[in-house]
Amino acid sequence: MLAFDRVSKVYDTFASGSRYALRDVTFATSMGRTIAIVGRSGSGKSTLLHLAAGIDVPTTGSVGLFGRPLERESETARTRLRRDAVGLVFQFFYLLPHLSLHDNVALPALIAGERGAAVDARIRQLLARVGLEDRARDPVQHLSGGEMQRVAIARALLRRPRLLLADEPTGNLDDANGRAVMDLLLALVAEEGTTLLYVTHSREFAALADETWEIHSGVLDTG
C-alpha cells in the first residue's frame, strides 16, 4: 500500500551544495503492518515521512500510495489523498491552543467538510478510547504532554486513515508517558486495522513494531 521505488530526495543547500536527504530508498509495506524506522537526527527519517504523506515529492524515483504514484499527482490531489487516507502524529503534538480537545480532534473532519452525529460519535469514541472523554470541552493548553499526544493520536485516527505516519511520537515525552502513548498507539492501529509507520530514535519503542528498519544518512536498511 505504501511503496518507495528507488526514491532519492536531494536538497540544495546554500552552504554545501546538494545534499542527499534520502538516497535510493526502496521498500513496500502491506496492510495492517506496523513498521518502526530508527535513525538519528538528520538521518532523513522526517523526509521519508513527508514523502510518504505526499507533503513533498521525490527528486528521483517513485512513491506509490495505495497504488498511485504521488510524484505524478497534483498538489491538490496529494492533499486530498492525505486528507482522506493518511493520519499524521507529530513530535510536538501540534494541537491548536485556542480549540478544545473535542475541536482539535474534530479538525480533520471539519477540513474534510464532514459533520453530523456520526462524526460526533466517532470523536466521543476516540476520546473515550484515549481516556479523555470527560475533558472534551476543555482547552488543550493545560493538558500534559502525554495527554496532548493522546489527543493528537485521536485526531490522526478520526477519519480512519489507512496509513498512520508518526514522527517521533514519544520524542517530547518522558519514558513512562512515552511508553503509555506507544502502547495506546499500537493498540489503536491494531483495532482500526491501520498501517503504522513511525519514526523513533528509541530502540526499545522500535522493537514494539512488526518490523524495524534503520536509516543512516538517507540510506534505508529494511533488513
Partner 1 sequence: MIRYLVRVVAANLRRAPSLYLLTIVGVALGVASVLTVQILNQSALAAFTGSVQAVSGEADLSVLGRTPTLPDSLYPAVLADPDVAGAWALSRTSVTLADRPDYFLDAVGVDFFAPIRIPFVTSRTGGPAVGATLANPAAVLATPGWTAVSPELATELDLAVGDTFTVTSGVRRARLKVGALVDFRRLTPLAGTRLIVLDLAQAQALLGEPGRIHQIDVRAVAGTELDALAGRLRETLGPGVDVLSPEQRTQRAEGLLAAFRLNLTALSLISVFVGLFLVYSATQASLVRRRAEFGLLRSLGATPRQVFAVIAVEVALLGALGVALGLPLGYWAARVNVEVVSATLTNLYLLDAIERLYVPRALFALAAAIGIGGAVAGALLPALDMSRRDTKTLLAAFTLHERLGSAALPLAGSGAALLAATGLWYVVGGHDWRGAGFVLAIALLAALPLGTPLLVQRLAALVRITDFGWRYSLRSLGVRLQTTAFAIAALGIAVSMLVGITLMIGSFRRTLEVWVNSSLRADVYITTPSWRGRSTEATLDSALAAALAALPGVRAVDRLRGFPGYTGERRIALAGVEMGIPYDDSHLPLLAGERTSALAAVHERGAVLISEPLARKTGLGLGDSLPLSVPTGERRFVVAGVYYDYSSEGGTVILSLPTLNAAFGAGPVNSIALYLAPGADAEATVDAIRARYPDTPLLLRSNRTLRAEVFTIFEQTFAITRMLQGMALLIAVTGITLTLLVLAHERLSELALYRALGAGTRQVFGIFVAEGIGMGALGLVLGGAGGMLLAAILILVINRAYFGWTIQVSVPLAALAWQAASLLAAAVAASLYPAFRASRTTAAELARDDV
Q: Give the interface with partner 1 as residue ranges (CB under 8 A).
A: 42, 46, 50, 53, 55-56, 75-76, 79-80, 82-84, 86, 88, 90-92, 94, 96-99, 103, 106-108, 110-113, 115, 155, 167
- Closer residue to partner 1 (CB): 16 or 223: 16
- Closer residue to partner 1 (CB): 138 or 210: 138
Q: Minimum distance from CB of 55 to partner 1 (Å)?
A: 4
In this structure, is the dihedral angle defined by the CA atoms of residues 86, 171, 50 and 59, taken in order, positive or negative? negative
Burial class (CB within 10 angstroms; exposed 0-12, middle 13-18, buried 19+) of 33: middle
- Closer residue to partner 1 (CB): 6 or 94: 94
CA–CA distance from 192 to each of 70, 77, 148, 157, 160 (Å)?
24, 25, 21, 8, 7
Cα 54-75-99 angle, rounded to 5 deg: 75
For residue 48, how far is the Cα from the chain centroid? 11
Rounded distance, CA 102 to CA 74, Å? 32
Instruction: With residue 68 as reference, give the H or E element that holds it.
Output: strand 68-69
- Closer residue to partner 1 (CB): 84 or 211: 84
- Closer residue to partner 1 (CB): 99 or 180: 99
Nearest to 130 by CA among 107, 106, 146: 146
